[in-house]
C-alpha cells in the first residue's frame, strides 16, 4: 500500500526550498518513532534582529577605530560578547532533547489533522520557547522543565481521503534574546489517515449475489428502522430506546432484545447508484457510521478488497473506515 506525501507548498519557491532542505539533511536517516537531537542536527543562523545588531556593531567598531575611543571599543565588544553568549544559549536550548511522535487521530475529509510530538528533557535544565512547525503551520511556543516532558501540537491543512506520510517536522527556538534561531529537522515516522466525508445517499439499490442469502444482500432504505427495532410499548425500558430512529421518524422505537437471530446488514458498493467513486465511498462511510451507531452487525463489500465482516464494535468500524479511506490508493502516484 502506497502512502502519499503531504507537501509543504505548490509554488516554485516552495519546491526549491523543499529540495534545498532535502539536500542539507541528506545525511540524516529516517528517525522512526523517536529521535534525539544531537550536535550534528542543530542548525543556527541570525534572525533579522540579529543581522541588524551585527550591522550596528560593525558601524560602532568603525567609529571606535576612526576616533580611537576606548569607551566605544568597550561598548562594542561588550555587546558582541553578549551576542556570542546568546548564540551558545540558543544552540544549547535544543541540544539533547528527545522527541517522539504520538499517533495522529484519523479525521474525515475536509477536517484538519493534528500532529502531536512529545518532547522530553534529559539533561537536567529547563528549555524555553520551543516551537514546532510543519511547512507553513506553526504551533504555540512550549516550555519544558528540567527532566520533564511536554506535548506540542500543530494543526495541518485539511486533506482529501487517503493515507498520508507524516511531513518533515521543524523544531526551533529563539531563546533567549531572539537574535539567533536554532532549529532541527525531524523525520519522525507516522501515518495520517483521512476517511471519506460522510454523505447520506439519496437512493439505495438493493443488491444480492450468489454468495449471500436473500437477506444478506438486501439493504434497508436510510429512513427505515432496522429489523431488530420495533415501536415503543408501555413498560419498555428507557435504556432500550433508539434515539437515532426517534430523530429520523419522530416516533419512539426500542431495540427488540428477542431478535438475536436478525440477519447482518451488508453494505455493498453496488447498492449506491452513480458513477462517481468518491460519492459512493462517502455514502458507504455514512451507512457504516449509521450501522455502528445502531449497534447492528454489518459487513462491507467494495471492489478489489476482500469482504469485511459482518461484525460489530469499534475495531470493525475502524477496519471498514480504513478500507474506504485507502480505496484505490495503491494505483495512485505518491504526491
208 within domain boundaries: no
CB distance 281 to 313 below 8 Å: no
Those residues whose C-beta lies under 8 Å from the C-beta of residue 202, and which sit 6 or more positions away, are: none
C-alpha neighbours within 13 Å on the C-beta side of residue 117: 35
User: What's the domain range around 314?
Assistant: 265-326
Residues above pLDDT 90, as percent of the chain: 58
In angstroms, the Cα distances linking 57 to 53, 60, 78 are 6, 5, 10
- Domain-terminating residue out of 147, 167, 195: 195
pLDDT digits (tens, 9 = 90+) for 60-85: 999 999 999 999 999 999 999 999 99
- Residue 163 CA to residue 191 CA, distance in Å, equals 7
Binned at pLDDT 50, 70 and 90, residue 331 comes out as very low
Question: What is the crossing angle of helices 277-293 and 314-325, to 10°?
Answer: 170
Q: How many folded domains does the chain comprise?
A: 2
Per-residue model confidence (pLDDT) at position 213: 39
Per-residue model confidence (pLDDT) at position 242: 73
Longest pairwise C-alpha distance within the chain: 103
Instruction: Please tell me whether residue 66 adopts helix, strand or coil conformation.
Output: helix
CB distance 318 to 334 below 8 Å: no
4 within domain boundaries: no
pLDDT at 127 over 50: yes
Nearest to 137 by CA among 7, 28, 33, 20: 7
Nearest to 280 by CA among 209, 164, 206, 200: 200
Task: Identify whether residues 61 and 164 lie together within a single domain.
Answer: yes
In angstroms, the Cα distances linking 29 to 40, 41, 172, 186, 189 are 12, 11, 19, 10, 11
Task: Identify whether residues 53 and 187 lie together within a single domain.
Answer: yes
- Domain-terminating residue out of 133, 166, 195: 195
Those residues whose C-beta lies under 8 Å from the C-beta of residue 313, and which sit 6 or more positions away, are: none
Supply the DSSP string of 30-43, one letter for each residue. Answer: P-BTEEE--GGG-E
| CATH number (domain holding residue 140) | 2.60.40.10
- Domain-terminating residue out of 135, 162, 195: 195
How does DSSP classify residue 111? S
pLDDT digits (tens, 9 = 90+) for 223-279: 444 546 777 777 665 656 676 676 677 777 776 655 445 578 889 999 898 889 999
Amino acid at each position: 500500500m502506497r502512502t502519499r506525501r503531504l507537501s509543504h507548498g505548490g509554488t516554485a519557491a516552495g519546491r526549491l526550498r523543499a529540495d534545498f532542505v532535502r539536500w542539507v539533511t541528506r545525511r540524516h536517516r529516517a528517525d522512526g518513532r523517536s529521535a534525539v537531537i544531537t550536535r550534528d542536527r542543530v542548525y543556527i543562523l541570525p534572525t533579522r534582529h540579529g543581522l541588524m545588531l551585527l550591522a550596528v556593531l560593525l558601524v560602532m567598531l568603525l567609529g571606535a577605530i576612526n576616533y580611537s575611543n576606548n569607551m566605544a571599543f568597550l561598548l562594542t565588544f561588550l555587546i558582541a560578547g553578549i551576542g556570542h553568549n546568546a548564540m551558545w544559549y540558543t544552540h544549547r536550548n535544543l541540544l539533547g532533547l528527545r522527541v517522539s511522535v504520538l499517533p495522529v487521530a484519523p479525521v474525515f475529509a475536509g477536517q484538519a489533522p493534528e500532529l502531536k510530538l512529545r518532547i522530553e528533557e534529559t539533561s537536567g535544565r529547563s528549555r524555553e520557547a520551543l516551537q514546532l512547525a510543519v511547512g507553513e503551520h506553526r504551533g504555540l511556543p512550549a516550555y519544558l522543565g528540567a527532566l520533564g516532558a511536554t506535548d506540542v501540537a500543530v494543526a495541518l491543512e485539511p486533506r482529501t481521503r487517503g493515507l498520508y506520510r507524516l511531513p518533515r517536522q521543524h523544531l526551533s527556538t529563539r531563546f533567549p534574546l531572539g537574535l539567533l534561531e536554532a532549529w532541527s529537522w525531524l523525520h519522525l515516522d507516522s501515518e495520517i489517515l483521512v476517511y471519506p466525508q460522510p454523505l447520506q445517499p439519496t437512493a439505495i439499490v438493493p443488491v444480492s449475489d450468489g454468495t449471500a442469502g436473500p437477506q444478506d444482500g438486501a439493504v434497508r432504505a436510510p429512513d427505515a428502522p432496522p429489523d431488530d427495532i420495533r415501536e415503543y410499548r408501555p413498560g419498555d425500558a428507557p435504556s432500550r430506546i433508539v434515539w437515532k430512529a426517534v430523530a429520523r421518524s419522530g416516533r419512539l422505537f426500542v431495540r427488540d432484545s428477542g431478535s438475536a437471530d436478525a440477519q447482518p446488514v451488508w453494505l455493498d458498493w453496488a447498492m449506491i447508484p452513480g458513477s462517481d467513486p468518491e460519492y459512493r465511498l462517502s455514502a458507504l462511510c455514512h451507512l457504516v457510521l449509521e450501522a455502528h451507531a445502531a449497534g447492528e452487525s454489518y459487513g462491507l463489500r467494495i471492489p478489489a478488497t476482500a469482504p469485511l465482516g459482518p461484525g460489530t464494535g469499534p475495531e470493525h468500524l475502524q477496519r471498514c473506515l480504513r478500507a474506504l479511506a485507502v480505496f484505490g490508493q495503491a494505483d495512485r502516484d505518491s504526491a
